[in-house]
Amino acid sequence: MIRVFPNRTSFTPDDDLAFVGLPPLFRPKEQMPVRVSCTFTWDKPIAERLKQEWSVYYEDVEVGGPAYVDEGGEFTPGLFMKKGITITSRGCNKKCKWCFVPKREGCLRELQIKEGWIVNDNNLLQCSHQHIRKVFDMLKRQPRAAEFKGGIDKTLLKDWHRDLFDSIRIKELWLSCDTENAIPQLARAARILDGIKTYKKRCYVLIAFTNETPLQAEKRLEKIYTLGFWPFAQLYQPEQKRTYSEAWKQLARKWSRPAAFNTYMKNKAKI
C-alpha cells in the first residue's frame, strides 16, 4: 500500500512506499491502493488535492486519518507512523476542553500490544494493570530506550508505576501541565519520579488556550522547570488554525529549545 502525507513530521514513515506531497516522477508502476493520511484539520484542503493528483496514476485512492474523525483500529507498526512507534490503546476517558481525542476516538480501549519503543498511547495509565505490565514487558525487549511520547497522566501516576519505569531504559518520559491548577498535580508526580534525570523528564505545556498573557504563561513554564521537568510550550490550535502574535511565537520558540530555556533559567538564577 502507498501512503501519502501532506507534510513530513518526526513520525512520518520513511520506507519506499511512503510519500510526502505530490506524486513524484519515480513511483511504483504497478497498481496498488493509495491512502492519504491527514492529521490536522487545516491540512484537509491539501489532502483533498493530493487525492486528486494521485488518482491520476492509481485507481484506488482514499483520504482519511485523525482530521477526518477516524477513530482508528488495531495498530500496524510502520504503516502510518515510522518504525519504532507503537500504540497499545486508543481513546481517552477524560474530556479535556482542548483535546480532540475523545471526540475522534471515543473512550479508552486496549489494543493488541505491538513491538516498539516509542509509546504513543493517548493515556497509557488509564489501561488495566495487566495491560500496563505487558507493555513494560514488551519495552524490556526493545533495542532502544523507551520514549513515552503520548504522555503519562500525572493524575494517575502511582508508586508502583515508578517500579515499572525503573525496570526499563528510558530516553524520554513525557507528562503535561496545561493549566495553572495542574501545578500541584505535577509537583506530586515530581516526587514519584524523583531521581530520574531531569533531561529525561519532559512536559508538554499548552499555552494561550485561555485568556492568559505571555507573561503568565512564562511564569507557569518557569514553575514547571523548577519542579525538575523540561517544559515544551505548545501554542493552542483549534480546528481552524489560529495565527498568533510575535510575542506568543517568541515565547513558544524559547520554551521549545532546551538550550534556550536552560540558559534563560541559569541566567535568571544569577540575578
Q: Under a CB-based contact definition with an 8 Å cutoff, are residues 220 and 205 in contact?
A: yes
The rounded distance, in Å, linking the Cα atoms of 253 and 261 is 9
- Domain-ending residue, one of 33, 49, 66: 66
Which pLDDT does position 73 carry in this prediction? 83
Q: Give residues with Cβ within 8 angstroms of 150, minimum separation 6.
A: 87, 119, 120, 121, 122, 123, 124, 174
Which range marks the domain in which residue 120 is found?
A: 74-270
Same domain, yes or no: 125 and 56:
no
Same domain, yes or no: 136 and 255:
yes
pLDDT tens digits, one per residue of 220-264: 999 999 999 999 999 998 878 889 999 999 999 999 999 999 999
**pTM of the full predicted structure?**
0.89
Q: Under a CB-based contact definition with an 8 Å cutoff, are residues 209 and 217 in contact?
A: no
As for how many domains the chain has, the answer is 2
pLDDT tens digits, one per residue of 130-158: 999 999 999 999 999 999 999 999 999 99
Same domain, yes or no: 236 and 167:
yes
Is the pLDDT at 96 greater than 80? The verdict is no
Same domain, yes or no: 239 and 112:
yes
Same domain, yes or no: 55 and 176:
no
